[in-house]
């Protein structure tokens, strides 16, 4: 029996995570927590979703597993209040906003189960169900500052971080190794 309650949380202002607990705070000062030890994979997915929803109005789910339905203290999932808050354009599908090079190649992003080493994963271990490669996820997270630019003596601009489309360090759990950058980038 899976019973749960969805409640309006307000505008998500901050996220704080430590080894055992994930805390979210609204603009009105309300703070809820989620046990990372109890939910493990789900907590990682919820943390990633919360980072993408910073500054948006959200609703939170409290399930029967979270301290006797105490909606004032615990939560188990988060989602936007409306679909328009995720996608800034008026297109109906969020997939059209993600470029082909930035899409996660190891999953469909929905109902994905990965079996590796006898463990059952509820979400894709590469993208946490967002359908965006981890290397490119910064492009799709709202309200993140751009990385600083350094200027060389000949006025050429250099980014101090790695390139956004460099997938040489990408790794799919259960895969035989790292993704061949030349193959996947079409070079």
What CATH number should be reported for the domain holding residue 33? 2.40.50
User: Looking at the structure, do residues 38 and 78 belong to the same domain, yes or no?
Assistant: yes
Asked whether residue 56 falls in the same domain as residue 105, the answer is no
Which residue range forms the structural domain that includes residue 64? 4-82
Specify the pLDDT at position 164. 53
139 and 183 belong to one structural domain: yes
Domain boundary among 33, 53, 82: 82
The neighbouring-strand residues paired with 31 are 25
Which helix H or strand E contains 184, and what residues bound it?
Answer: helix 181-184
Same domain, 69 and 131: no
Same domain, 75 and 102: no
Asked if residue 99 and residue 187 are part of one domain, the reply reads: yes
pLDDT of residue 25: 93
Please check whether residues 139 and 67 belong to one and the same domain.
no
SS3 121: strand
For residues 116 and 172, state if they share a domain. yes
Place of tokens 């789910």: 61
SS3 readout for 59-118: EEEEECCCCCCCCCCECCEEEECCHHHCCCCCCCCHHHHCCHHHECCCCCCCCCCEEECC
Claim to verify: residue 109 and residue 55 sit in the same structural domain: no
Q: Look at residue 3 in the predicted model and tell me its pLDDT.
A: 67
Does 102 lie in the same domain as 180?
A: yes
pLDDT at 87: 42
Over the chain (187 residues), what is each successive 10-residue block's mean pLDDT?
Answer: 75 89 92 86 87 89 66 84 51 55 65 46 64 72 47 48 52 50 49
| Domain-located, residue 17 | yes
DSSP 3-state percent helix, strand, coil across the chain (nearest 5): 20, 25, 55
Co-location of 102 and 162 in the same domain? yes
pTM, whole model, 2 decimals? 0.44
Contact 18, 50 (CB under 8 A): no
Q: What pLDDT, on a 0 to 100 scale, did the predictor assign at position 26?
A: 92
Tokens describing residue 22:
């994930």
- 128 φ/ψ angles, rounded to the nearest 5 degrees: 60, 30
Q: Is residue 46 part of a domain?
A: yes
Helices (H) and strands (E) in the chain, counts: 4, 9
CA distances from 56 to 5, 25, 160, 169, 172 (A): 20, 12, 30, 31, 30
Sole residue written with tokens 């979703």: 49
Structurally, the chain folds into a number of domains equal to 2
pLDDT, position 184: 52
Residue 151 lies in a domain: no
């Amino acid at each position: 029996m899976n019973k749960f309650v969805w409640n309006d949380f307000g505008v998500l202002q901050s996220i704080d995570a430590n080894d055992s607990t994930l805390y979210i705070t609204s603009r009105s000062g309300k703070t809820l927590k989620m046990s990372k030890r109890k939910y493990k994979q789900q907590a990682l997915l919820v943390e990633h979703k919360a980072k993408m929803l910073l500054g948006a109005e959200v609703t939170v789910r409290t399930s029967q597993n979270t301290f006797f339905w105490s909606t004032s203290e615990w939560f188990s999932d988060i989602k936007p209040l409306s679909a328009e808050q995720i996608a800034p354009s008026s297109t109906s599908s969020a997939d059209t906003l993600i470029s082909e090079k930035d899409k996660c190649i190891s999953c469909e992003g929905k109902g994905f189960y990965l079996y590796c080493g006898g463990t059952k994963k509820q979400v894709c271990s590469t993208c946490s169900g967002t359908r965006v490669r981890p290397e490119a996820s910064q492009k799709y997270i709202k309200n993140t500052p751009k990385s600083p630019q350094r200027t060389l003596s000949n006025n050429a601009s250099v980014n101090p971080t790695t390139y956004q489309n460099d997938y040489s360090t990408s790794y799919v759990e259960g895969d035989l190794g790292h993704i061949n950058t030349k193959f996947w980038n079409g070079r």
